[in-house]
Amino acid sequence: MRIVETDVLLVVDVQVDFLPGGALPVPDGDAVVGPVNALLATFPHAVLTQDWHPAGHASFHTSHPGGEPFGTVAMPYGPQVLWPEHCVQGTPGVAFAPGLDVARAELVIRKGYTHAVDSYSAFLEADRTTRTGLAGYLRERGFTRVVLCGLATDFCVAWSALDARAAGFETVVVEDAVRGIDRDGSVAAWARMAAAGVGRVRLAEIMAGRTAAAP
């Protein structure tokens, strides 16, 4: 895959709480840091996302009487998975992963800050109507292809990829620079992304393209 000036790397939620030992650990989540750093060193442009919840956020099981972690509750916008408290503003867990090379990020977009609405997607909150502004930003910058990596495959990466595609961007996920929360959920997420026209590429294909394109 040859990288061009109109490509943007979208690094999704590589944050302390999603790593092993964090509040909502993605299995093997820390394994993405190396590949993501390689991508950050390669792409001409990069945007990072951060899950960024206020205390007492509606997606936390502790915000619902009798709510169990990984249970489901009916919200006005549809079913909502209930999560352990994670990525709370002002806590250490909300920070980017140690060792993540954030220096070249041109934008950090935060999501999930609306108290009563979750936001897996970097583009649209879970009510499916409230926009984060990211699509407009990417369009104004002239980007035409969004290349995604990060955490987690079956939630924030998939929802962001599907919304990038729906917003009209060519969309590709780097399959060895993501990790999922649930194996079956990740299989289903890959199927949904494929059906929507989201491409899938390996890190080595990107690096090979970079080598071929070098002067």
Residues that bind Zn ion (CB under 5 A): 51, 112
Of 112 and 180, the one with the shorter C-beta distance to Zn ion is 112
Q: Closest CB to Zn ion among 51 and 163?
A: 51
> CA angle, corner 159, sides to 155 and 204, nearest 5?
80
Least gap, CB of 18 to Zn ion (angstroms): 9
Identified catalytic residue from 17, 51, 111, 163: 111
Distance CA 167, CA 44 (A): 21
163 is catalytic: no
Q: Which three-class secondary structure state does DSSP give residue 173?
A: strand
10 Å CB burial of residue 159 (0-12, 13-18, 19+) is: buried
Looking at the Cβ atoms of 40 and 151, the one nearer to Zn ion is 151
111 given a catalytic annotation: yes
CB of 4 to Zn ion, least distance (A): 32
Q: What is the closest distance, in whole angstroms, from the C-beta atom of residue 118 to Zn ion in the complex? A: 6
| Catalytic-role residue among 17, 30, 51, 156 | 156
- Rounded to whole angstroms, what are the CA distances from 130 to 47, 119, 140, 182? 20, 9, 19, 27
Pick the catalytic residue: 7, 13, 51, 118?
Answer: 13
List residues with catalytic annotation. Answer: 13, 111, 156
